[in-house]
Amino acid sequence: MKNSAQHRSSTLSAPFQPASSAVVIAIVFALMAVLSQSAQAQFTILHNFTNEADGGEPWAGLSMDRAGNLYGTASTGGNTSACTYPNPPGCGTVFKLSRKGSGWVFTTLYTFSGPDGARPMARVIIGPDGSLYGTTTSGGTGPCSYGSAPGCGTVFNLRPPATSCKSALCPWTETVLYSFQGFTDGVEPTFGDLVFDGAGNLYGTTPYGGQGDHGTVYKLTPSNGGWTETVLYRFQGGLDGAMPYAGVVFDRAGNLAGTTALGGTYNNGTVYQLVPSGGGWTESVIYKFHGESDGANPYDGLIVDQFDNFYGGTFGSNGTTVKVYELSPSNGGWTFTTLYDFGSHQGIIGNLAMDAGGSLYGTNFSGAPEVFRLTPYNGSWTLTGSWGGIGEAPAGNVILDSSGNLYTTAANGGPSDFGLVFEITP
């Protein structure tokens, strides 16, 4: 990979265990069904990135508005005279894909230049006001000097033109809501989605900064026409966790939950919860990864269902295999269940998605890159979809439209090898 992000990947295979003939027959039929389904699936490339005005290396996934338009970020390209180190050049872009007839129209909504942000690696979300909100890993006005551009990262807002625009090239207006200062407030927001509460406050994470440079969870509150940052929790890097690359989610009680890639009892990562308490927030680790049958290093975040069950995946390193798991509240505690084991040489970075029937969708980052679907059946989970062979390094989330079509990105691949956006019709 030519990209600058560094990730751990597993190089060891799962231990071999003999299986009965009935199990073997069941596995063969399951694989035949998956291969048949993969062969029938239709892949449509919606955009090939060139690392020029359109951007390049889209690490993040996509968001979809009610009209079916897609929005995303590219971490490089755009203004290639800025952010020239490390290669490839460019500070990144925010883009839109709109349906037109049987095809799609790509539009660059905004090009970063450094002081306004640089290198977005998280997707943009659509806020309650219909505008876009996101983060950049560098840029801004903070004192950090390392990386691709000066600055410690930003939280930004993008708004469409105030008046009707008849041209596809009408620029959107960017506002930096917050520039991280690189000390106690956090550094380099990376893969994590932002999330709003009912009062219009924003929540996110940084994997670095805070106390001991182990990461933070923060809140942005609108105030007098601007935004005020409050750090809700600074990770200590020990039993409480370290390096929260992913964002946070709310449960029905208003608590926040997320993952850390490292820390915990075995330094293989944690799932944590933040509970409002006495005007502040109290952190507790609700699961620490052992690095065994449960996996290790959750770079992706959590999704939550209507019963407050959490779902996530692990990246897999240090000899562990890649898992999809569920954490369920039980008698005042939590029950961890491994739903599926993908084996080695793969990794989950983007958040999972769940459809109305309860199936889970996600992307495997390395080894044999793929988009997958897991379906609950008779008390277990089965791989009912595995679609690969297009693009490289898919690290983002998968989104579904009302017809069941899937959309995501790949950070590399395509004619210029700067990534692509694609659709899968299962």
Measured CA to CA, the distance from residue 349 to residue 351 in angstroms comes to: 7
The mean pLDDT of 119-145, rounded to a whole number, is 95
User: Residue 167: what pLDDT?
Assistant: 60
Say if residue 86's pLDDT is above 80.
no
- Does residue 18 register a pLDDT over 50? no
Q: For position 323, what pLDDT does the model report? A: 94
What pLDDT shows up at residue 147? 58
Least Cα distance to 253 among 297, 209, 307, 292 occurs for 307
**Encoded tokens for 345:** 């040489």
Mean pLDDT is lowest, of 21-30, 68-77, 142-151, 367-376, for 21-30
Specify the 3-state DSSP secondary structure of 414.
coil
Interval 129-144 mean pLDDT: 95
Residue 94: C-alpha distances to residues 63, 66, 245 (Å) = 12, 19, 20
pLDDT of 240:
98
Contact present, 82 and 90 (Cβ < 8 Å) = yes
Q: Tell me what the mean pLDDT of segment 174-182 comes to.
A: 96
Phi-psi region of 90 (alpha: psi -120 to 50; beta: other; left: phi over 0): left
Return the amino acid letter for 188.
E
Does residue 96 sit in helix, strand or coil? strand
Q: Give the mean model confidence (pLDDT) for residues 263-285.
A: 96
Domain residue extents for the chain:
198-348
pLDDT at 117: 96
| Model confidence at 39: pLDDT above 60 | no
pLDDT per position as a tens digit, 153-165:
999 999 998 776 6
Residue 319 pLDDT > 80, yes or no? Answer: no
Q: Is the pLDDT of residue 89 over 60?
A: yes
State the DSSP H helix or E strand holding residue 30, giving kind and residue range, or none if neither. helix 21-40
Q: What is the pLDDT of residues 395-411, one digit of tens each?
A: 999 999 999 999 999 99
pLDDT tops 90 at residue 182 = no
Enumerate helices (H) and strands (E) in the chain, giving the number of each.
1, 28
Q: Is residue 247 pLDDT above 60, yes or no?
A: yes
**3-state DSSP of 332-345:** CEEEEEEEEEEECC
The pLDDT mean for the chain works out to 88
> Once rounded to an integer, what is the mean pLDDT over residues 378-391?
92
317 Cβ contact partners less than 8 Å away, ≥ 6 residues apart: 8, 9, 10, 296, 297
Question: Positive or negative CA dihedral for 78, 83, 85, 86?
Answer: negative
Q: Please list the residues that pair with 414 across neighbouring strands.
A: none
Please report the pLDDT score of residue 67 as a whole number. Answer: 94
Above 60 in pLDDT, residue 8? no
Question: Taking 80 as the threshold, does the pLDDT of residue 257 lie above it?
Answer: yes
pLDDT of the residue at 345:
64
Token pair for 139:
């840029």
Q: H or E segment at 29?
A: helix 21-40
423 in Cβ contact with 409 (< 8 Å): no
pLDDT score of 404 = 95
Distance CA 383, CA 404 (A): 17
Q: State the residue for tokens 């299986």.
A: 19
pLDDT tier at 11, thresholds 50, 70, 90: very low
| CATH code assigned to 198-348 | 2.120.10.10
Is pLDDT of 186 > 80? yes
d(CA 96, CA 71): 5
User: What is the predicted pLDDT for the residue at 183?
Assistant: 84
What pLDDT was estimated at residue 278? 87
pLDDT at res. 148: 60
Helix (H) or strand (E) holding 286: strand 280-288
* Region of poorest pLDDT, from 249-258, 315-324, 413-422: 315-324
Interval 255-272 mean pLDDT: 97
Q: Is the CB of residue 363 less than 8 Å from the CB of residue 393? A: no
Least confident piece of the model among 16-20, 54-58, 113-117, 122-126:
16-20
Rounded-to-integer distance, Cα 49 and Cα 47, Å: 6
Prediction pTM value: 0.89
* Mean pLDDT to the nearest integer, 102-130: 96
pLDDT at residue 41, as a whole number = 82
Determine the Cα–Cα distance for residues 290 and 320; give it in Å rounded to an integer: 10
Q: What tokens appear for 9 in the block?
A: 């990947």
Q: Is the pLDDT of residue 343 over 80?
A: yes
Is pLDDT of 237 > 50? yes
Length of the chain: 426
Per-residue pLDDT at 146: 64
